[in-house]
A = this chain, B = another copy of it.
Amino acid sequence: MEIVIDIDSTTPVFTQLMEQIKQAVSSDGLAEGAALPSIRQLANELDVNSKTVAKAYKLLERDNIIQSRGYRGSFVHPEAKRYCGVNVNEWAHDELKATITKLKAKGVTDSELRIAFSNILSNKD
């Protein structure tokens, strides 16, 4: 695990963590099933808050890149590479953009879109 955090970067620390761990899995620097450093251990190594590492781990788990096993620690997901390689981001971007373009063509303003989007993601319907 050679993770480098750039404090001056505009990219959030938890994102840098996610990206580098994902990259390590993709390039086989981290094998599927391999043990990850513990949250506190990595936080101490990189001199960042443990909650920040916990956030990155939690999101990576949601993305099926890693798995948390309580007191046993965190591990690379058995099928992590399958989820790393799938470029759902590009497809999602295009789908979302198509809808937004359609709505804006009907005159929906950006602020209206932001409000609607925010309400949907926070389940405030």
Q: Which of A59, A107, A111, A125 has the most CB of B within 10 A?
A: A107
- CB-CB nearest in chain B for A102: B95
Residues of B within 8 A of A107 (CB): 62-64, 83, 88
Chain-B contact segment, one of A25-33, A36-44, A116-124: A116-124
Q: Whole-angstrom distance between the alpha carbons of A49 and B114 in the complex? A: 24
- CB-CB nearest in chain B for A83: B107
- CB-CB nearest in chain B for A107: B62
Interface residues on chain A, size class: 20 to 34
Copies in the complex: 2
Instruction: State whether B109 touches A59 (Cβ < 8 A).
Output: yes
Grouping DSSP codes into helix (H, G, I), strand (E, B) and loop, the A interface class, with mixed when no group exceeds half, is: helix
- Which residues of A from 67 to 125 have beta carbons under 8 Å from B? 83, 88-89, 91-93, 95-100, 102-103, 106-114, 116-117, 119-121, 125
Residues of B within 8 A of A100 (CB): 96, 117, 120-121
- CB-CB nearest in chain B for A122: B110
Q: Whole-angstrom distance between the alpha carbons of A125 and B90 in the complex? A: 11
With A59-B111, A97-B125 known, 6 other A-B pairs at CB within 8 A are: A62-B109, A88-B108, A88-B112, A92-B106, A96-B103, A117-B117
